[in-house]
Amino acid sequence: MSVVERNWQTTRPTIRERSKFMFNNDLFSDVKFVVKRADDESESKQVIPAHKLMLSISSPVFEAMFYGELAETTDSIELPDCEYDSLLELFRYMYSDEVILSGSNVMGVLYLAKKYMVPSLADTCNKYLQDNLDPSNVFSILPSAEKFDDKNLVGQCWKLISKQTEEVVKSEGFETIERSLLEAVVERDALSIEEIELFKAVDLWATKACERQELAADGQAKRRILGERIIKGIRFPIMDEKDFASVVLDSDVLTKEDIVSVIKHLNSVPSSSMLFPKTKRLGSYGDNRCCRFNSLSDRKWKNGPSVYKHYILFTVDRNIKLLGVCLFGSENNNYTSELMLLENQSGRRVAIKTGEFSSELVRGEKFDYFGFEVLFDNGQVILQKNLEYVLEAEITGPDSAGGDNGDSTVACSGVTFAFKNTGINKRTTIQWGQFPEFIFSL
């Protein structure tokens, strides 16, 4: 061994460099981890040397494991619940504050970061997932995000599913999702896809499920595998009659009663029963957004009963459909909101929407913020040009963010929104407060 190798400490002047040198190194190792390592042809076991002190100063779980009342006495620990590559990256982070993430290891590293209570590494994994989320991997990421109760990542997954529905349902991962997830997709109102294309994807999912169970993929088997929630969630009445006849009927998943109900609707024949939703999904209207603020405010807004209501008065210079608005929230929090739209002069209530919402990271046109979308039902809220409307919101939940440096007029996608103060209170004005973005279609 050379002098340099023998005196390795002298060539690494910082504690970080010396710590990195100890990573995956037998030198001074007092514990070894045995984990599985899979390659293209087989699975084997691999050993990773480690140091109890280094692991314990980064993880309270390892501290308890090695120095607690029931400390491990063996110097070899087998971990059957993780892969070699994932554990190696966990240890790399503990020794150096560095991690090499990839699509193949990030979910495993996130699992270990949660298991061994290393929150900064979990945050790094979540950022990687959000930055690399796309239609090809969203269905592999969403179940894990829900398992770990990561509301921000769950929200980003559902937002992508809503915005890029057609690409998502044609991805390879869609064919193998759990039925409960398929139910949630089909019942989602904000999808951006023609209903016939959604049905084709659902029918293919059922066909693949039959193949995996070695069943004949006939209509009866596919309907049984899909279940009534999925069948009743498809909006057959809004399909083109030719598509319904050539695609849906050929799939043979509908009963005679289902078919009669839809055909009567498609031909405007009065019927006492309609078995399926007959309104277009909100995403099919298009998604234009108008942001009225230029920055986030340093203030926090309290939320609660009616004394904390928010109001803004506005007009538009052409007829549009108002799909809903975004409201500010705060990170990893839930809110209850009642949103009401009124004609200012007559006081007539145009629309109302109430519900419970999870605040997520919104990638806004001018800035990012934590908030949530409140969408009116059915996308049928028509705004008349030059008519004054008042938007009123009551929000219950933790303190929320707010906007600042608002504009009195904003042009978006060929529509000019003009805002005025209502004079009811000053919690929300042209300058600051709630209602960061208006969601509309032309």
Enumerate domains of the chain plus CATH numbers: 3-132 (3.30.710.10), 149-266 (1.25.40.420), 286-441 (2.60.120.820)
Q: Which of 395, 399, 394, 392 is nearest to 424 (CA)?
A: 392
> Where is average pLDDT lowest: 32-46, 54-68, 130-144, 342-356?
32-46
pLDDT, tens digit, for every residue of 386-439? Answer: 999 999 999 999 999 999 999 999 999 899 999 999 988 889 999 999 999 999
Over the stretch 244-282, which tens digit does the pLDDT of each residue have?
Answer: 999 999 999 999 999 999 999 888 887 767 788 887 777
pLDDT at 79 over 60: yes
Q: Specify the 3-state DSSP secondary structure of 231.
A: helix
Q: Please return the burial class of 334, using the count of CB atoms within 10 Å of its CB with bins 0-12, 13-18 and 19+.
A: middle
Supply the DSSP string of 56-80, one letter for each residue: HTT-HHHHHHHHSTT----SEEEEE
pLDDT at 378: 65
pLDDT digits (tens, 9 = 90+) for 154-202: 888 998 998 899 999 999 999 999 999 999 999 988 888 999 999 999 9
Reported pTM: 0.72
Q: What is the mean pLDDT of residues 326-334?
A: 91
pLDDT reading at 385 higher than 60: yes
Residue found under tokens 């590494």: 121
User: Is residue 2 over pLDDT 50?
Assistant: no
The pLDDT of 354-366, averaged and rounded, is: 85
Reading the block at residue 129, the tokens are 């997932």
Q: What is the CA radius of gyration of the chain?
A: 28
Q: Is the pLDDT of residue 103 over 60?
A: yes
Mean pLDDT for the chain overall = 91
pLDDT number for residue 156: 87
- Nearest Cα to Cα of residue 282 among 165, 413, 427: 165
Residue 32 has φ and ψ, to the nearest 5°, of: -130, 140
Q: Which structure tokens are listed for 277?
A: 């939703």
At residue 267, what is the residue type? N
Burial class (CB in 10 A: 0-12, 13-18, 19+), 13: exposed
Percent of the chain whose pLDDT exceeds 90: 73
pLDDT at 228 exceeding the cut of 60:
yes
